[in-house]
């Protein structure tokens, strides 16, 4: 699948036009961190649709097609029910709607934990059907062998440690991780294991700040924080949380807008005009030619 086109909404909702620049690559993201330092932090946001990708792409280095789409798009109670088909379809849409960012797609629960071979089959399907550049999976030392297996077979991998939503049933909820010494040591060890296995980025989610800083300073690969620390090598948020689309969000989310109120107010205005028969007006209707 070609990744060199974007959607031009000025003419048609799905009309491809030549991309104005080359897409970033996995090595380019990996090379942001040199000698343990990242001069330019990596900007990452989630994206689930072509139009959303269009709007976010010029401002991001990485677009993550997160399994958070289960909750954000499908209204599911967690990420557990998300399927490979869902991820492949949404990732393909994000690739079509972007031209600049590295597109990474989450591997859903149950698609990679059984064995490295299962993980390869799932990852290969996601990349072939979507055109994405890399996959992301959750887990630390337990998944290091799988990460190595994938990387050695040409599949770039982004790791994920700390609060891992797919393991919510084991963790017992979404509370911050790393408050005990044992848990803190495990998070650091998990990140080191993923780095040594070949992960080009490790996401650190929902951990106490000193642990996030320790991870960032310990591993040589890029560390992306979410509910972690500004001292990480980059940041990621769920876009819909950042835009204020939901009332309840994690403590670490900063709302940069209140899109929910804007959408609700706009729908109310539309409904009012429809009921008053003031919409459509002359500008929105076609009249006979004289």
Q: Known binder of ligand: residue 138?
A: yes
Q: Known binder of ligand: residue 67?
A: yes
Rounded to whole angstroms, the Cα distance separating 71 from 255 reads 18
Buried b (16+ CB within 10 A) or exposed e, 45-59: bbbbbbebbbebbee
Task: Give the count of beta carbons closer than 10 Å to the beta carbon of residue 3.
Answer: 16
Backbone angles phi and psi of 264, in degrees to 5 = -65, -45
Q: Known binder of ligand: residue 181?
A: no
Q: Known binder of ligand: residue 254?
A: no
- Which is catalytic among the residues 40, 205, 209, 283? 205
205: annotated active-site residue: yes
Q: Which of 190, 127, 185, 198 is nearest to 164 (CA)?
A: 190
Do 133 and 26 form a contact (C-beta atoms < 8 A)?
Answer: yes
Q: Known binder of ligand: residue 195?
A: no
Residue 13 DSSP label: T
Which residue numbers belong to the known binding site for Mg(2+)?
Answer: 67, 106, 138
Residues labelled as active-site residues? 205
Mark the binding-site residues for 3-methyl-2-oxobutanoate, compressed into ranges: 67-68, 106, 136
- Residue ranges for the known binding site are 67-68, 106, 136, 138
């Amino acid at each position: 699948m070609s990744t060199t086109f974007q959607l031009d909404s000025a003419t048609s909702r799905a009309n491809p036009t030549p991309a104005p620049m080359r897409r970033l690559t996995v090595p380019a993201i990996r090379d942001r961190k040199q000698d343990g330092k990242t001069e330019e932090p990596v900007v990452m946001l989630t994206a689930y649709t072509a139009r959303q990708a269009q709007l976010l792409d010029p401002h991001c280095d990485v677009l993550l097609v997160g399994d958070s789409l289960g909750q954000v798009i499908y209204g599911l109670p967690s990420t557990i029910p998300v399927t490979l088909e869902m991820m492949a379809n949404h990732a393909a849409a994000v690739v079509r709607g972007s031209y600049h960012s590295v597109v990474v797609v989450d591997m859903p629960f149950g698609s990679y934990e059984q064995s490295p071979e299962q993980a390869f089959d799932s990852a290969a399907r996601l990349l072939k059907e979507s055109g994405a550049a890399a996959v992301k999976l959750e887990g630390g030392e337990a998944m290091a062998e799988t990460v190595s297996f994938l990387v050695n077979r040409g599949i770039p991998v982004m790791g994920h440690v700390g609060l891992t939503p797919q393991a919510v049933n084991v963790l017992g909820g979404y509370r911050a991780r790393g408050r005990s010494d044992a848990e803190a040591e495990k998070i650091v060890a998990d990140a080191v294991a993923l780095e040594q296995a070949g992960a080009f980025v490790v996401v650190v989610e929902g951990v106490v700040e000193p642990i996030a800083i320790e991870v960032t300073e310990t591993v040589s690969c890029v560390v992306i924080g979410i509910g972690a620390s500004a001292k990480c090598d980059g940041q990621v948020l769920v876009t819909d949380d950042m835009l204020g689309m939901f009332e309840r969000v994690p403590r670490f989310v900063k709302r940069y807008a209140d899109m929910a109120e804007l959408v609700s107010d706009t729908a109310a205005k539309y409904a009012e005009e429809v009921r008053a028969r003031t919409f459509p007006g002359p500008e929105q209707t076609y009249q006979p030619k004289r």
